[in-house]
Amino acid sequence: MEEDCCATQLIYGDGEFNSSGLDRFVKEVKLAECGLSYAVVAIMGPQSSGKSTLLNHLFHTKFREMDAYSGRNQTTKGIWIAKCVGIEPCTIAMDLEGTDGRERGEDDTTFEKQSALFALAVSDIVLINMWCHDIGREQAANKPLLKTVFQVMMRLFSPRKTTLLFVIRDKTKTPFEYLEPVLREDIQKIWDGVPKPQAHKSTPFSDFFSVEVVALSSYEEKEEKFKEEVAQLRQRFFHSISPGGLAGDRRGVVPATGFSFSANRFGK
């Protein structure tokens, strides 16, 4: 029998934290038994960019996906969590509401900031879902999001080292070897432009984040290729917390028994 991913809404669309749901989830997935041997992966990115679809293919979860035929209205509200199926160590996936959504309006970034703060406080790996055509563009959809992520990281009491895995969607014929350095330059520029508290004025980006970049084919136009590439990416989440793994140099890990408390503290 395939294990259940136990998908649970952790934070509702109005920002309310679902404490009882989290407690139930932690019990169902037997998280307390994991000690330090577990990982948390969150995904952020523009609305309708296929975040839930990616998580479901990557981790065999059952997050609700957007139906392209019924219009691109927001499907993921708030934050959902689920257990990744068949991955060791125990890995928890978090699906965050899309940024730049029409439903909230352009000026309503409060929820976005709160959910970014929450995700960074509890995640070892954050997938940043982005469009290939946004690389190197001044008006890129993920620029405000990255600014938020970097500002929020400074507010954490003791920042943990987080792996940002940039997932370039709908890759084009432009070679990856060309795209990656341009993207890394974009990231560095955004970091340099973010105001920093005195304590972190000269802290290098690499103290807070490790950056990994991967490019995927279009799910809608090259579904088989997409599935193949995602299956390869899935392999990188096995033993992700071992030295050399995706989150091999993480710091400040909360033992699994304290995950609920930690999540509650940041979620409220």
Q: Domain containing 105 — which CATH number?
A: 3.40.50.300
pLDDT of 68: 53
Q: What range defines the domain where residue 126 resides?
A: 8-267
pLDDT of 30: 94
Q: Please check whether residue 235 lies inside any domain of the structure.
A: yes
Q: Please check whether residue 2 lies inside any domain of the structure.
A: no
pLDDT of 111: 81
Q: Please check whether residue 157 lies inside any domain of the structure.
A: yes
Q: Which amino acid is at 12?
A: Y
Distance CA 81, CA 181 (A): 32
Note the pTM of the prediction, 2 decimals.
0.91
Distance CA 7, CA 136 (A): 36
Instruction: Give the CA distances from residue 174 to residues 62, 127, 182, 232, 256, in Å, rounded to whole numbers and listed in that order.
Output: 32, 22, 12, 21, 42
pLDDT of 130: 93
Q: Please check whether residue 143 lies inside any domain of the structure.
A: yes
Q: Please check whether residue 1 lies inside any domain of the structure.
A: no
Profile the chain (268 residues) by mean pLDDT over runs of 10 residues: 80 90 95 95 90 95 71 71 96 88 59 84 94 86 86 74 94 94 94 88 89 96 97 97 93 86 80
Q: Strand 79-83 relative to strand 125-131: parallel, antiparallel, unpaired?
A: unpaired
Distance CA 14, CA 27 (A): 25
Considering its fold, how many domains does the chain have in total? 1
Helix, strand or coil for residue 127?
Answer: strand
> Residue 163 CB: number of other CB atoms within 10 A?
22
